[in-house]
Amino acid sequence: MIILELIVVLGAIFVGARMGSIAIGYAGGFGVLILTLGFGLHPGNIPIDVILIIMSVIAAVAAMQVAGGLDYIVYLGEKVLRKHPERITFLAPVVTYFMTLFAGTGHTAYSTMPVIVEISKEQGIRPSRPLAIAVVASQIAITASPISAAVVIMSSYLQPKGIGYLQLLAVAIPSTFIACMVGAFVSNFLGKDLKDDPVYQERLKKGLINLRGESKYNIQPYAKLSVLLFLISIMLVVLYATATSDTVKLIKNPVLNTPQAIILFMLSSALSIVAFTKIDITKISSATTFRAGMSAAICVLGVAWLGDTFITNHMNDIKQFASTVLMAKPWLLSVTLFFGSMLLYSQAVTTRTLIPSALALGVSPIAALASFSAVSALFVLPTYPTLVAAVEMDDTGSTRIGKYVFDHPFLIPGVVTLIVSVILGFLLGHIIIK
């Protein structure tokens, strides 16, 4: 019976991924319906905390976008990229990494992709090289962002085990960033040069390649202020999480836990942006980041509920199968998280679904933290929105999906980046956490 149930889970995820976008959330909900009414399983837990954090962060980011703050950040990003255009493969992931780190969502990468493509073409560099690692960087940075749902949820699991919020960030930020640079180094050698790429040459002959030059930005009057207000809210989140942590304990018996604090700080940030920048509040719901974020929330709802339903109903079987293996080789948790995130389609969902089980099986907190970045394998299946967007925005045709589905330019840089990040996580974890 468990095999049939697993087929339902994987089938729902496959169908949703093939349909794309928000459909994976719909398919997840349909899968729960089959498991509960068809197989008699008890429904799992809905990840309300994850969904609410995503919604509140996106609400603030969308307000900042309407105020012009996101355009201002992209403008700064283009200045960085054009300062040393010949190093675009290394600078592109730096920009997308820190945009995600700052905003708590990888969907900010969309706005930088056209810039990356244009600069690559101007330099005669194959755009798939910087685009591939830039997409990977935007995904793995979620596991290092102070306001991402994945980090907050992970912190809530590690706090009782003696690893504080700041310790988590102290391991996650350097390990993931350095890993992205290693991934960029590898990506720099992948694929033929543009002059040798037959697809590019064919498109060039047909006049399908355009050089638009440097982008023109209309920076709105309150753009900088909206970025400052959002940045202040992030600092307040970090300060509050630190002050209430079990290691610092500046605030004993806090009224709010960290997830609640993030939700309230983000909503307050959105309010301050609306109030001080005088934007048209009706435009927020139509902002691209808002639409992408709310779509992500539905995806999390369906897929996380589906995964939790299957796992909680078979926890005893999973413990018997996995406990001995994970205790002997804790690094295998990273492999589990890798394949889990590939199917669950979300860093936060994978963290919420698999980390509690791993800790319950006896995996050490340091091993769990070191493996945390492996929840970012969203680049494996060529259906994730940022990956699809990168393919569509590259008019050279160099960023393309092969006929075997997995033969795409994101796979090798992504796998290398995650492997290096996990290795560094183990090294830094043992140094920082004592």
Average pLDDT over residues 310-338: 75
Nearest to 145, CA basis, from 196, 187, 104, 200 = 104
Contact yes or no for 373/140 (Cβ under 8 A): yes
235 has a pLDDT exceeding 70? yes
What digits encode the pLDDT tens for the residues 204-226?
Answer: 777 767 766 666 777 888 999 99
Contact yes or no for 220/67 (Cβ under 8 A): yes
Nearest to 348, CA basis, from 303, 312, 384, 290 = 303
HEC string for 371-421: HHHHHHCCCCCCCCHHHHHHHHHCCCCCCCCCCCCCCCCCHHHHHHHHHHH
87 has a pLDDT exceeding 70? yes
Q: How confident is the model at residue 268 (pLDDT cuts 50, 70, 90)?
A: very high
Question: Which residues touch 79 (CB under 8 Å, ≥6 apart)?
Answer: none
The domain ranges of the chain are 2-432
Determine the Cα–Cα distance for residues 42 and 7; give it in Å rounded to an integer: 17
What digits encode the pLDDT tens for the residues 24-39?
Answer: 889 889 999 999 998 8
pTM > 0.85: yes or no: no
What digits encode the pLDDT tens for the residues 143-202?
Answer: 999 888 899 889 989 988 888 888 999 999 999 999 999 999 999 998 888 777 787 788
Determine the Cα–Cα distance for residues 304 and 322; give it in Å rounded to an integer: 21
Residue 289: its pLDDT value, please?
A: 83
108 has a pLDDT exceeding 90? no
Determine the Cα–Cα distance for residues 147 and 140; give it in Å rounded to an integer: 14
Matching residue, tokens 């996580």:
425
Q: Which percentage of the chain shows pLDDT scores above 70?
A: 93
Determine the Cα–Cα distance for residues 203 and 213; give it in Å rounded to an integer: 19
423 has a pLDDT exceeding 70? yes
The residue ranking higher by pLDDT, 307 or 175, is 175
Residue 318: its pLDDT value, please?
A: 67
The residue ranking higher by pLDDT, 246 or 397, is 397
Dihedral of CA atoms 83, 133, 432, 147 in degrees, nearest 10, equals 90
What digits encode the pLDDT tens for the residues 52-80?
Answer: 888 898 899 899 989 999 888 888 888 88
Contact yes or no for 417/136 (Cβ under 8 A): yes
The residue ranking higher by pLDDT, 249 or 225, is 225
Residue 404: its pLDDT value, please?
A: 67
3 has a pLDDT exceeding 70? yes
386 has a pLDDT exceeding 70? yes
Contact yes or no for 348/47 (Cβ under 8 A): yes
**Alpha carbon 250 to chain centroid, angstroms:** 31
Residue 186: its pLDDT value, please?
A: 95
DSSP string across 225-289: HHHHHHHHHHHHHHHHHHHTSTTT-SSSS-SS-HHHHHHHHHHHHHHHHHHHH---GGGGGGSHH
Residue 369: its pLDDT value, please?
A: 94
Q: Which percentage of the chain shows pLDDT scores above 90?
A: 30
Determine the Cα–Cα distance for residues 228 and 38; give it in Å rounded to an integer: 52
Question: Which residues touch 21 (CB under 8 Å, ≥6 apart)?
Answer: 295, 385
Q: What type of residue is 352?
A: R
- Tell me what the pLDDT averaged over the chain comes to: 85
Give the range among 11-15, 95-99, 161-165, 174-178 with minimum mean pLDDT: 11-15
